[in-house]
Amino acid sequence: MNSMNLILCAVAATALDLCTLILIITAYREKRSATKNWDWVANSMELAEQGMTYDLGCDEILIGRHASADIRLPDLSVSRYHAMLTVSNGRWTITDIGSKSGVFVNGNLVHEAVLHENDIIKLGNRRLVFRKRRDERVR
């Protein structure tokens, strides 16, 4: 293994390393555009209740009492799988998936309803506001 061959191999390996690094950095940069795209899809909405806000990060969000719900409400009046939030065509819909106490949007018992800004959702004894996200995303 003479030194010329060694140098060429090392150079090729370094070039590949650099390339991989650049592509990882690219992937991180693109995360921002992906987040921006999601903000556009989800209309930058969030759910808020007294003192807590819940981010809406994916297109099917389970709300309920059990431990692996995306939005966990540890209140006995809330069922284990209470409601599901879905988004499509830019609109958020809340669906009741079999709760004991029902889902109320602006005071009306619904099975499935499209949500608009500042709607108030009542699940058992908990009250959530569906509103535009307050904090600015860091650019």
Partner 1 sequence: MYANPVAYIFSCIFVLLAHSSMLVNIYFNGNYTDIKEVIVLGTAVLILDIVYFVVMLFFKQISYAVDFLLILILNMSVIFQSCFGGVGFNLKHYITCIAALVACKAGFLFCRNHKWIQEQKKLIYAAIGCLMVIILLFTGSRSMWINFSSFSIQPSEFIKPLFVLACATSVMDQQRRHKILFVNVVYENIALLGLTGAIVLLQWWCRDLGSLPTFMGIYACGFLLRICYPKAKFSKKKLIFAGALLLVVAVIGIRFAPEYVQHRLHVDIWNDKNGDGWQQAQALIGIANGGWFGVGPGKGYLHNIFAYDCDIVFSTICEEWGLLYGLMMVCVILIMIAIPLINPPRSYFHGTMSAGVCAAFVVQMALNIFGSCNLIPFTGVTIPFISTGGSSMVVSGLMIGMLMACQSPVFKEPKNKKKLKPVPAWRWTE
Partner 2 sequence: MKSIRRCQHIISFIIVMFIIGMAVLVLKIQREAPFYMMNSDHHELGFVYDRKGDVLFDGTGENQYPDNYFIDIGNIIGDDSGQMNNTLVAQNIEKLNNYSFSGGLTSNGRASIYTTMDHEANRAVYNAFGYQEGCVVAYNYATGDILVSTSLPSIDVTKGYDAIDSFKPGTLMSKTLYKTIPGSTQKVSTVISALEIMGAEKLFSKSFTCTGQYINRTGLNIDCHNIYGHGTLNIQQAVENSCNPFFAQLIEDDDLPLDRLIEQYRKLGYAVNGDEDKYFDIDGIQCERASTNLTDKYEFTTQWGCIGQGDTIVSPMQLMMWQSAIANGTGRMTMPHLIDHCVNVNGTVTDTAKVEYSEQLFSPDTAATMKQILLTNGANHYAYSISGYNVGVKSGTAQVDEGANENSLLVGFVDDPAFPVAFCILIEKKNEGFLTTEQIAQVLLDNLRADF
Contact residues: partner 1, CB under 8 A: 1, 4-6, 8-20, 22-34, 36-38, 41, 57-60, 62, 66-68, 79-81, 84, 86-90, 95-102, 109, 111-112
Whether the CB-CB separation of 92 and 114 falls below 8 Å is answered with yes
Nearest to 99 by CA among 67, 117, 125, 134: 125
Query: How do 103-105 and 119-123 pair as beta strands?
Result: antiparallel
Smallest gap from residue 102 Cβ to partner 1 (A): 4
Q: Which does 52 bind (CB under 5 to 8 A by kind): partner 1, partner 2, none?
A: none
Q: Which does 33 bind (CB under 5 to 8 A by kind): partner 2, partner 1, none?
A: partner 1
Smallest gap from residue 50 Cβ to partner 1 (A): 25
Would you call 82 exposed, middle or buried from its count of C-beta atoms within 10 A (0-12, 13-18, 19+)?
buried
